[in-house]
């Protein structure tokens, strides 16, 4: 039996973390959560997620700061950035730092599920399966 995919939700808003945790558990994922970029880096090392959904604006360490650390320690982990604050310069910076995708807040639940499926599909294509 295949192991379920692992997903890490990183957001400083407890309600967002809980909503996405429940949503993706219902979709068959193993889910872990973190409240900031520092916790995200620790969780990536401990939990080894396939996909990370991460906010940008967070205390202690924001998502843009955490992104290169996550990609350095786990290059195959796909990172989806969610933010309410994104300009063209920021979008370019996300790709340069290793993001696999991004969504603007507020997002629709079907939209975030589709984005997770999209980046996971890209991963399987990269391995030729």
How many domains does the chain fold into?
1
Evaluate whether residue 86 is within a structural domain: yes
Residue 67 CA: distances (Å) to CA of 19, 21, 73: 22, 20, 10
Evaluate whether residue 14 is within a structural domain: yes
pTM for the model stands at: 0.89
Evaluate whether residue 70 is within a structural domain: yes
Q: What is the pLDDT of residues 44-57, one digit of tens each?
A: 999 999 999 999 99
Q: What is the pLDDT of residues 11-50, one digit of tens each?
A: 999 999 999 999 999 999 999 999 999 999 999 999 999 9
Evaluate whether residue 1 is within a structural domain: no
Query: Domain of 49: which CATH number?
Result: 3.40.50.2300
**Residue 46 belongs to domain spanning:** 6-126
Evaluate whether residue 76 is within a structural domain: yes
| Residue 109 buriedness (CB in 10 A; 0-12 / 13-18 / 19+) | exposed
Evaluate whether residue 16 is within a structural domain: yes
Per-residue tokens: 2: 């295949």
């Amino acid at each position: 039996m295949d192991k379920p995919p692992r997903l890490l939700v990183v957001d400083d808003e407890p309600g967002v973390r809980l909503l996405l945790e429940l949503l993706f558990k219902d979709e068959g994922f193993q889910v872990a959560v973190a409240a900031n970029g520092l916790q995200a880096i620790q969780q990536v090392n401990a939990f080894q997620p396939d996909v990370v959904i991460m906010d940008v604006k967070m205390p202690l360490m924001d998502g843009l700061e955490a992104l290169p650390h996550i990609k350095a320690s786990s290059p195959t982990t796909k990172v989806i950035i969610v933010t309410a604050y994104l300009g063209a310069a920021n979008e370019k910076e996300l790709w340069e730092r290793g993001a696999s995708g991004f969504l603007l807040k507020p997002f629709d639940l079907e939209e975030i599920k589709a984005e997770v499926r999209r980046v996971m599909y890209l991963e399987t294509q990269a391995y030729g399966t």
